[in-house]
Amino acid sequence: MVRLLTQQGQLIGWNDEKVRPFPDNLVFLDLLNPSRAEELEAESWLEYTLPTREEMQEIEESSRLYAEKGALYMTAWIPVGLDTPEPDNTAISFVLAPDCLTTVRYADPMAFRILVDQVKRQCPCPMSSDAVFLALCELIVARIADALQMIESDLKKLAREVFRLDPHRANAAVEKDLGDVVKTLGRRSALVANLRESLLSVSRMLQFFLSNAATWMRGDLAAQFRSVMRDVKSLDEYTNQQTQEMTFLLESTLGLINIQQNQIIKIFTIASVLFMPPTLIASIYGMNFDYMPELKQPFAYPLVICALVISALIPIWWFKRKKLL
């Protein structure tokens, strides 16, 4: 699917025959999962090539940020699916020239859908390629900020749950709760790592743009681009703080799990100590000797039973006195 945006803010679909050939006032060309025929037609109108899907996956900075034939080629990792159980990053290429911005993407991040809705509602006129690029960057950064706020809310909730649990209650419920906390922290940690990768990618892209588009960029947009860069920097620092919070929560949770495991071991240890005296008495009278005179006494059996009970109660009393039970 391909969308076109004119200088007057008119949003046009690719299949609209009225726009063939493309209008001269086109400022935004959005290619979503383009076919090879669509790529060739776009390249023919733009008069420069577009990056392929394989080229978009390159990790070298020289392959992701470069200038060619008067256009800036910038590929960044953009978060996608933040509202789903499996968020991820997707590579999106921004090919920016003075007259038109072209995006090549194989996923549909929320920022692009929001831009389309904003254009449908109202659009300041006239528009330019750098203004559309600025709007997309602002929406991407705002989306990342919303995700970080959601993560912070989850971390506060987890902190309350972790320190409310009593690890001395060695039961399956506590073990399940602590296990769920570790799993949640793992998912949130992976999400923060993805967002940090996206912020780093967007920061490099904006720095490259400001360094190479100063000659033709609208002067009134420069301050707004610098503001977006400051936002990116502050969010990157915020991710560092969240990483430290998650590390602390993970260490605390693992510590509580160790306390719970120690409590279980403590129970078995005390139980073994409690049964040691009765076991000793039972083992003595379980020996096969011919001469054990007390066995022939009528009170021998109840006396041994009483000895077993008393020998078990004495350790219990001692453990309670020492507050070990």
Q: Which residue from 204, 38, 134 is spatially nearest to 29, judged by alpha carbons?
A: 38
Rounded percentage of the chain residues whose pLDDT exceeds 90: 24
270 assigned to some structural domain: no
Q: Does residue 260 sit in the same domain as residue 280?
A: no
Q: Is residue 45 part of a domain?
A: yes
**Both 311 and 223 in a single domain?**
no
Q: pLDDT tens, 165-189?
A: 665 555 655 666 778 888 888 889 9
> Is 88 within a domain?
yes
Task: Indicate whether 155 and 219 sit together in one domain.
Answer: yes
Query: How far does CA 208 lie from the centroid of its chain?
Result: 27
What is the average pLDDT across 6-15?
A: 58
User: Which pLDDT score, from 0 to 100, does residue 7 have?
Assistant: 54
Per the domain annotation, does 228 fall within a domain? yes
The answer, as to whether pTM is greater than 0.75, is yes
Domain that holds residue 245: 2-264
Same domain, 109 and 248: yes
Helix axis angle, 219-274 relative to 300-321, nearest 10°?
A: 150
* Each residue's pLDDT tens digit, 254-309: 888 887 777 778 778 877 877 888 888 788 777 777 777 776 777 777 878 888 88
* Count of structural domains within the chain: 2
What is the tens place of the pLDDT at every residue in 86-115? 888 999 999 998 888 999 999 989 888 888
Tell me: do 183 and 299 sit in the same domain. Answer: no
Q: Do you find a cis peptide bond into 51, omega within 30 degrees of 0?
A: no
* Cβ atoms within 10 Å, residue 6: 20
Instruction: Answer whether residue 269 is part of any domain.
Output: no
Same domain? For 250 and 289 the reply is no
Cα–Cα distance list, 134 to 17, 169, 245 (Å)? 29, 55, 32
DSSP for residue 19: G
On whether both 208 and 300 belong to a single domain, the answer is no
User: Same domain for 294 and 163?
Assistant: no
Classify residue 62: in a domain, yes or no: yes
Examine the pLDDT at 3 and tell me if it is beyond 80: no
**Cβ neighbours of 131 (radius 10 Å):** 20
Helices (H), the chain: 36-46, 53-56, 61-64, 110-121, 129-164, 172-212, 219-274, 276-285, 300-321
Mean pLDDT, residues 54-78: 89
In the prediction, which pLDDT does 29 show? Answer: 87
Are residues 119 and 145 located together in one domain of the fold?
A: yes
**Tokens 């200088």 label which residue?**
7
Residue scoring higher pLDDT (319 or 129): 129
- Cα gap 105→95, rounded to integer Å: 11
For residues 72 and 213, is the Cβ–Cβ distance under 8 A? yes
- Is 35 a domain residue? yes
CATH of the domain at 114: 3.30.460.20
Please count the CA atoms within 13 angstroms of the CA of 305 that sit on its side-chain side.
Answer: 4
Q: Are residues 314 and 182 in the same domain?
A: no
Rounded Cα–Cα distance for residues 73 and 208 (Å): 10
Based on the fold, state whether residues 247 and 311 are members of the same structural domain.
no
- Domain check: are 195 and 315 in the same one? no
Domain's final residue, options 240, 264, 288: 264
**Among 223, 241, 264, residue at a domain's last position:** 264
